[in-house]
Structure 1
């Protein structure tokens, strides 16, 4: 039925446009940035109501790089919100699952805890988009004057329910209001009309889909089928008989996934390595070291010791780096810098002042390379953090 639903099409455009209007008034970036002049935190956006308009607002704000949070009185929409990369805010009150897809009036305890959550979020977020509507009733008042007063100067609120009374205290239909503490409240009711090309295209598509449904014979003759809940629900009169209101239609819940028992997969048995082979290799290695120590010059043993230490230290340093950062350049510079640093430190004790000077320079340069590499890597990782 959504292919015929003009309200869904216009709400989709409205949610998208609401975020653009907020971005127009907001005085900073949506996405966080790290620049030479300093770090800019990302904008924090709260979307109240996760219907068609709310989901469109969530997707738009997320695509602009903001941290998005959303809340809805229907717990079944949490999965949709989280699948779009937003955080779904929950309150510890039992709620019934909606049977018609629309929000219903909530209980006193739910409203109290929701108000506490709104008050806490208002102090933290930069932008609030409210879309909460109840069919046939005035829009619920969710954001109070105290909450607006607690927001940071320059914050923006877009009240998409302004035409039905508004979710926000102080919002005025079709007007922009700036509070005493610098919070901007937008009560525009023509958000879909601010994208006229797209609104006309979607509205025309809705009409084409409607006429296609009503003329199954494709001859231009309307043939109503009251067995179709969509056609029955939109028919007011037929042959002088009043058919309104239509019988209630319940939205079927998604079927629970059937639990399937998966047989445990046994681990493939690996033949244990022979301990005799291990000990034989250790004995062979020890014999080679003893032979090398017995017949090699003393200077060679010193260099060989430095080499072994450099290999061991370099191995543990590189193995503790994330695989995402294992570039050939980093691996090579770490290994070379480690060898130079260890060798330079050992040569600092030489009695020759020339060797001491060269060792000091080598130690200094290698240290700059190592510590500078960690500093640059740390700044690079900070660019991928939003908070």
Structure 2
């Protein structure tokens, strides 16, 4: 029997993406897989059942019961896990550090679960990197939100009433989201600076036409992520940043460390020193925020008139393109194991081995296992 790849309608509040799109369905069928979809699975991303063109369209329970592979955007809920057969494969953004009980349920149900955020950051893995693809959407949308909220134009305008100076925009963090934010702000005509504690990002920031903000502190780390700063380094960085923020109109913060709280970069004291009408858009709001005053899902206005916007799930606000990129990421990962309609997992492949969270009743990701089960004796 061909492997049955299943996609469900996402049920998390505000989630409009879908894990399979029409072009990926065609690719899966060409590889010999059956594609089963819950009725209406793609409607929130504007893909009708007819456009999705799955092999079969079923109700939720029926699709789950048939699933050899379940593709999700958000992690499956307890009922979905219970509805899967033992040994089924789940591929999703699983956020194991946020919900140990979900990990236990996947383990106890003997589900082979792949957490795409655990994917090694290698050249070979780039086409499967859901964090990068979705971060690009977030960086783009964050700047549009900032431009709408700002009480000033982004570009310089020459009018009969005089010349309007461009807004000064600072993007904190030069990962995928930050670089996309810089590029978008530049397209809108703002005067843009980029800041990152990793000195190697200077060339990337400057290649986009922005100025690199050097605060005299380096935190180059491993795997493309920044290391945590020492107390002394943080104090020096924060004082220099506080002084610089006094002249900034818009700040977009994008600094994040997967599986951990977002680093606090913009303090309440820094906000108090900013000018009235300034705007901060915090992409990291869901993991605690880069700004001390950020509240996820809310806009907070400081006593001195600075708006701090705590964005949540920005990729869901561009569901068509975000879904297309996400679905391609999942397909490229699944393709490693899919041959002539059969699924064969190669545990010698580091992309498969290191992305696996649970398998055959065990938690394979060691940090998660220690969090849940403790160190083995």
Q: TM-score range by the shorter chain?
A: 0.5 to 0.7
Contact 2:220–2:226 (8 Å) recurs in 1: no
- Distance in structure 1 (CA, Å) of the matches to 2:215 and 2:199: 10
The counterpart of 1:225, out of the listed 310, 321, 346, is 346
The counterpart of 1:204, out of the listed 315, 322, 327, is 327
1:22-101 mapped onto 2 (5 Å cutoff): 22-93=146-217, 95=218, 97-101=220-224
1:177-326 mapped onto 2 (5 Å cutoff): 177-215=300-338, 217=339, 219-240=340-361, 242-245=363-366
- Distance in structure 1 (CA, Å) of the matches to 2:200 and 2:343: 38
- Distance in structure 2 (CA, Å) of the matches to 1:187 and 1:52: 19
1:98-137 mapped onto 2 (5 Å cutoff): 98-137=221-260
SS at 2:257 equivalent: coil
SS at 1:104 equivalent: coil
**C-alpha deviation, 1:10, in angstroms:** 1.4
The verdict on how the C-alpha distance between 1:166 and 1:97 changes in structure 2, with shifts beyond 3 A counting, is: closer
- Distance in structure 2 (CA, Å) of the matches to 1:227 and 1:80: 34
- Distance in structure 2 (CA, Å) of the matches to 1:108 and 1:196: 40
- Distance in structure 2 (CA, Å) of the matches to 1:97 and 1:143: 20
RMSD (Å), alpha carbons: 1.8
1:343 corresponds to which residue?
none
**C-alpha deviation, 1:224, in angstroms:** 2.3
- Distance in structure 2 (CA, Å) of the matches to 1:229 and 1:65: 43
Count the aligned residue pairs.
243
Contact 2:219–2:227 (8 Å) recurs in 1: no
The verdict on how the C-alpha distance between 1:240 and 1:191 changes in structure 2, with shifts beyond 3 A counting, is: closer
SS at 1:200 equivalent: helix
SS at 2:290 equivalent: coil
Larger Rg over CA atoms:
1
Contact 2:197–2:219 (8 Å) recurs in 1: no
1:295 corresponds to which residue?
none
2:100 corresponds to which residue?
none
**C-alpha deviation, 1:137, in angstroms:** 2.4
- Distance in structure 2 (CA, Å) of the matches to 1:165 and 1:239: 34
2:127 counterpart of 1:6 = no
- Distance in structure 2 (CA, Å) of the matches to 1:238 and 1:154: 52
Between the two structures, name the one with larger relative contact order (CA 8 Å, sep ≥ 6): 2
- Distance in structure 2 (CA, Å) of the matches to 1:79 and 1:228: 33
| CA shift digits 1:253-296 (9 cap, x unpaired) | xxxxxxxxxxxxxxxxxxxxxxxxxxxxxxxxxxxxxxxxxxxx
Contact 1:3–1:206 (8 Å) recurs in 2: yes
- Distance in structure 1 (CA, Å) of the matches to 2:362 and 2:332: 26
Contact 1:237–1:243 (8 Å) recurs in 2: yes
**C-alpha deviation, 1:98, in angstroms:** 2.4
Unaligned runs of 5+ in 1: 247-387
| CA shift digits 1:342-382 (9 cap, x unpaired) | xxxxxxxxxxxxxxxxxxxxxxxxxxxxxxxxxxxxxxxxx
The verdict on how the C-alpha distance between 1:238 and 1:140 changes in structure 2, with shifts beyond 3 A counting, is: closer
**C-alpha deviation, 1:220, in angstroms:** 2.2
| CA shift digits 1:283-326 (9 cap, x unpaired) | xxxxxxxxxxxxxxxxxxxxxxxxxxxxxxxxxxxxxxxxxxxx
**C-alpha deviation, 1:31, in angstroms:** 1.1
The verdict on how the C-alpha distance between 1:137 and 1:243 changes in structure 2, with shifts beyond 3 A counting, is: closer
2:297 counterpart of 1:174 = yes
Unaligned runs of 5+ in 2: 1-124, 368-377
**C-alpha deviation, 1:227, in angstroms:** 3.4
| CA shift digits 1:128-168 (9 cap, x unpaired) | 01111223322222111221122122111001111111111
- Distance in structure 1 (CA, Å) of the matches to 2:358 and 2:161: 67
The verdict on how the C-alpha distance between 1:97 and 1:155 changes in structure 2, with shifts beyond 3 A counting, is: closer
**C-alpha deviation, 1:99, in angstroms:** 2.2
Contact 1:174–1:190 (8 Å) recurs in 2: no
Going by fraction, where is helix more abundant, 1 or 2?
Answer: 1
The verdict on how the C-alpha distance between 1:23 and 1:214 changes in structure 2, with shifts beyond 3 A counting, is: same
